[in-house]
Homo-oligomer: A and B are copies of this chain.
Amino acid sequence: MVRQNPSYKEKKVISIGVVSELTGLSERQIRYYEERKLIFPDRSKGRNRKYSFSDVEALMDIANKIEDGFQTLEIRREKLKEQKKVEQEELRKKMIQGQLNARFGIRKN
């Protein structure tokens, strides 16, 4: 049973000003990292950027890497690689579950 907690961490509700305060980054930097496809805020009514706490964490991570001399493109590639790893992991789990279902019957997890 996957516990679907309210998941406040992923909810995109924070405006850029607050994100700036929370991360110590300038709004310019935050918008730029979006331009470089490192973060993906929502838009409220198609206009104002809204971020999640998860985005805030990602931004602090990005800030550290930038400080360590990484370029945004490198950071992006790293993220894509990790993303792919996670996806494969999920696929693998799904296949195993599929085999279990096939042999021992269907049940919802």
Contacts and interface: CB of A to CB of B under 8 A. Distances in A.
A63 interface: no
Interface stretch (A5-13, A66-74, A86-94): A5-13
The residue among A8, A11, A14, A21 with the most chain B CB atoms within 10 A of its own CB is A8
Interface of A: 6, 8-9, 11, 13-15, 17-18, 21-22, 44, 50, 53
A8 B53 contact: yes
Given A6-B53, A8-B9, A14 B17 contact: no
A18 B9 contact: no
Given A8-B8, A9-B8, A13-B13, A18 B53 contact: no
A13 B18 contact: yes
Contacts of A8: 8-9, 53
